[in-house]
């Protein structure tokens, strides 16, 4: 038995091969799992739980069919995913950050964007869109208006990132911020996604595991109840629909 963790799938109707890989993962690898944790950005964009597209229905049905505990933490793309959709999926919503007991060990879970404090412009945007009043106003708009906003936000994000002279340092985590969170929550283990740089970092007396994205290949952290943690890759067959 083991616990599985994934993030940054960025599911999108325009990338059906990733949806197909995710559905196959659910069918094959979660069958004997103790739990599944999704640490944000399950979807490329989420415009509200009243989203009526086929992808939302397909993912909810597939997740609900897996009879294991499932947990979801908001990412920077799907922070509007609410209790109604989580219930459809059979998922429990998690705060970001949160500490869990993982087979007797305290582990800090985060999506990861809070760790990227060198990107001041993004952090200001994050504060704005996480405000309950902003979210209430956004969700009150018609679906068409929300879809248009999401498209504009994606384009603005791409333009913002392309303007960095030192993309590697700006969009990665800030080491001092990592240390501050580990100290605040009194842990030595941190698992997060967001940066799309899968790796296991052992440094400064702690271990930080970064989950990968699901673009060219899938990324899964498998944590056995008694055994070595492994950061695995999964094939994505491009050109294959779900």
The annotation status of 54 as a binding-site residue, yes or no, is no
239 falls in which pLDDT band (50, 70, 90)?
A: low
Q: pTM surpassing 0.85?
A: yes
Is 51 annotated as contributing to ligand binding? no
The larger pLDDT score, comparing residue 223 to residue 144, is at 223
Give the burial class of 138: count Cβ atoms within 10 A of its Cβ; 0-12 exposed, 13-18 middle, 19 or more buried.
middle
Q: Is 55 helix (H, G, I), strand (E, B) or coil?
A: helix
- Is 95 part of any known ligand binding site? no
Tell whether residue 206 is among the known ligand binding residues: no
Number of H helices, E strands in the chain: 8, 11
Taking only the tens place, the pLDDT of each residue in 48-57 is 999 888 999 9
Q: Is 41 annotated as a binding residue?
A: yes
Domain spanning 2-235: which CATH class is it, in words?
alpha beta
Tokens at 157, concatenated: 């994000």
The response to whether 192 counts as a known ligand-binding position is: no
Q: What is the pLDDT of residue 169?
A: 43
């Amino acid at each position: 038995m083991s616990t599985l963790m994934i993030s940054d799938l960025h599911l999108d109707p325009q990338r059906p091969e990733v949806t197909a890989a995710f559905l196959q993962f659910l069918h094959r690898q979660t069958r004997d799992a103790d739990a599944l944790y999704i640490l944000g950005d399950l979807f490329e964009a989420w415009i509200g739980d009243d989203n009526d597209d086929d992808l939302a229905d397909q993912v909810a049905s597939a997740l609900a069919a897996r009879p294991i505990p499932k947990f979801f933490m908001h990412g920077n793309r799907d922070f509007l995913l609410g209790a109604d959709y989580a219930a459809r999926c059979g998922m429990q919503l998690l705060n970001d950050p949160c500490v869990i007991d993982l087979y007797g060990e305290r582990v800090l879970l985060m999506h990861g964007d809070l760790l990227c404090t060198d990107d001041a412009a993004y952090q200001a945007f994050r504060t704005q869109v996480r405000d309950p009043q902003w979210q209430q106003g956004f969700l009150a708009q018609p679906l068409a208006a929300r879809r248009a906003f999401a498209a504009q936000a994606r384009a603005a994000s791409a333009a913002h990132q392309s303007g960095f002279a030192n993309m590697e340092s700006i969009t990665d985590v800030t080491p001092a911020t990592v240390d501050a969170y580990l100290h605040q929550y009194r842990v030595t283990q941190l698992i997060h996604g967001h940066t799309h740089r899968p790796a296991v970092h052992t440094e400064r007396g702690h271990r930080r595991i970064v989950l990968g994205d699901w673009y060219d290949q899938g990324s899964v952290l498998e944590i056995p109840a008694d055994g070595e943690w492994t950061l695995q890759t999964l094939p994505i067959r491009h050109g294959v629909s779900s």
